Structure 1
Amino acid sequence: MLQTQTVEPATLELLRKLQQEPLLATFNLVGGTALALRIGHRKSVDLDLFTREGFDLEEVKSMLVEKYDFKVSFERQHTLKGFIGGVMIDCIRFNYPHLQAPDEIDGVRLESIPDIIAMKLSAIVQNGTRIKDFIDIATLSTKYSLDEMLQFYVDKFPNANIVMPAKALTYFDEINFDESVVMTTGKFDWKRVAKRLQDMAKNPQKVFSTL
């Protein structure tokens, strides 16, 4: 069952419509919104749609512009980004193997939590500015140990250095603290999140209690 309280109704309706488009039939929802719809921990606003298959960027762009008034903000081979009614949309080819098969829940195709964890860790390594990535990993410490998360990372990205995400999780100097965060389970407390991440680094085999 989707945790629909985490996403605006219009955004969820848009997601369902987009995933019903034949040109987007292989695209699955990833990232923070996919995780929020799975575990219900925070509000999320963006729609990140990834596929392992190649796609005709011009054809997809034309369809989105004509049917959804899509406003392009960035495009290059295998990557299309923009906005539909104020909602940020990414359509990206991401040619890495699935750790687990994607799920379809209430008509929405979602990447698995292990896959989302691997991609979140990769995002933190590449760009440690997004506070929500850190929040998501800290929240998931109640389901997985850091060692398990790091295993997901190296399984999905075999050429990656397992040390990098372990270090990046406790490096906070680049984080943008102006980014809006709305938790569904209580008031957002960065100090608690930071302490959890540090505790994870000290106890990588531990699965923690509620954040």
Structure 2
Amino acid sequence: MLHTQTVEAGTYALLKSIMNDSTFSGFALAGGTALSLLIGHRKSIDLDLFTTKEFNPVQLEQYLQKNYTFKGDFLEGYSLKGEVNGIKLDFIRHDYPDVEPRIQEDGVRLYGLKDIAAMKLSAIGDNGTRLKDFIDVAYLSGYLSLKEMLTAFEAKYPQTNPYRALKGLNYYDDIRFSERINLLGKDFRWEDIAARLTDMTREENKRFPHLKEEAAGKEKKLQQPVIQPRKRGRRM
């Protein structure tokens, strides 16, 4: 069951419409919105649609303009970016093998957690400015160990040294902390994310407690009343 509360109703309706359109049969949802729909950790607004197949971006843009009031703002190679009614859309050819079978739920095609983890690590290794990438990897640690993520990375990007991604995971100087973050069930604190990322690199084989559950446990512990020991009266 998808966590549809993580996206606006209009965004999900547009996603369903695209998924039901045979023109986009080769595309599947990736990125933060795919992860949010799968694990329900934060609000997400963009639709990143990837395919391993070749497509004609000019023809696709014309089709989108005719059928979806699409406004394009970037077209290069096999990348087409724009928006529909304020909803950002990316159509990208990502010509790398799937690590695991894609998921189909409620008529939506999504990349699996291992593929998403590999893509997130790749983005961090290549860029390292997007705060959401670090948050997403931290939340993925409740489902996959860092070792599993790195194994997925090597399977998806066999020509890329995984050390680059691992190094980027612990380098925070380039992160844009001005990004707006809307976590569900938990207030955003960078300290919590950084601590989890550090723990992941120290214990690569461990799957950690889900961050939401861990936070709830800490809050419950803090709210427990402190019971003072009762003083014994003097025996007569």
Which TM bucket (shorter chain)?
A: over 0.9
Deviations 1:28-53 (A, max 9, x none): 00000000000000000000001111
Partners of 1:202 and 1:117 in 2: CA distance = 18
Task: Show the counterpart of 2:147.
Answer: 147
Give 1:206 deviation, angstroms.
Answer: 1.6
Query: For the aligned residues, what is the CA RMSD?
Result: 0.9
Q: Distance in 2 between matches of 1:71 and 1:107?
A: 25
- Give, as a single letter, the amino acid of the residue that structure 2 aligns with 1:121: L
**Partner of residue 158, structure 2:** 158
Residue 91 of structure 2 is matched in structure 1 by 91
Q: Which residue of 2 aligns with 1:181?
A: 181
Within 5 A, what are the aligned runs for 1:3-14? 3-14=3-14
Partner of 2:110: 110
What does residue 28 of structure 2 align with?
28
TM normalised by structure 2 equals: 0.87
Greater C-alpha radius of gyration: 2
State the SS of the aligned residue for 2:42. Answer: coil
Q: Normalising by structure 1, report the TM-score.
A: 0.98
- For residue 144 of structure 1, report the CA deviation from its aligned partner: 1.3
8 Å Cα contact 2:142/2:210 also seen in 1: yes
Q: One-letter code of the match for 2:199?
A: D
Amino acid at match of 2:100: Q
In structure 2, give the amino acid aligned to 1:163.
Y
How far apart are the structure 1 equivalents of 2:25 and 2:142? 33
d(CA) in 1 for partners of 2:184, 2:129:
22
Match of 1:46 in 2: 46
Distance in 2, matches of 1:112 and 1:124, equals: 18
CA distance in 1, matches of 2:139, 2:179: 18
Q: CA deviation at 1:204?
A: 1.2
Counterpart CA distance in 2 for 1:95 and 1:171 is 27
CA contact (8 A) 2:65 2:71 kept: yes
Contact 2:20 2:107 in 1 (8 A): no
Q: Which amino acid aligns with 1:39?
A: I
Structure-2 separation of matches of 1:138 and 1:123: 14
Matched length? 211
Q: How many angstroms does 1:210 deviate by?
A: 2.6
Separation in 2, partners of 1:122, 1:128: 9
Deviation at 1:192, TM superposition (A): 0.4
Displaced runs of 4 or more, over 6 A? none
Report Cα offsets for 1:166-200 as digits up to 9, x if no partner: 11111000001111100012111110001110111
CA distance in 2, matches of 1:144, 1:56: 36
- What amino acid does structure 2 have at the position aligned with 1:168? G
* Identity score, percent: 45
Question: How far did 1:22 drift?
Answer: 2.1
Give unmatched runs, 5+ long, in structure 1: none
- For residues 125 and 61 of structure 2, the distance between their equivalents in structure 1, rounded to whole angstroms, comes to 30
Query: What SS class does the counterpart of residue 88 from structure 2 fall into?
Result: strand
SS of the residue 2:95 aligns to: coil
Which digits, 9 at most, give the CA deviation of each residue in 1:60-102, with x for residues without a partner?
1011111211111110121100111111100011111111111
Q: Which runs of 5+ in 2 are unaligned?
A: 212-236
Contact 2:145–2:200 (8 Å) recurs in 1: yes
Checking the alignment, whether the CA contact within 8 Å between 2:50 and 2:92 is kept in structure 1 is yes
Work out the CA distance in 2 between the residues paired with 1:140 and 1:101: 18
What SS does the corresponding residue of 1:165 show, helix, strand or coil?
A: helix
Matched residue of 2:143: which SS?
coil
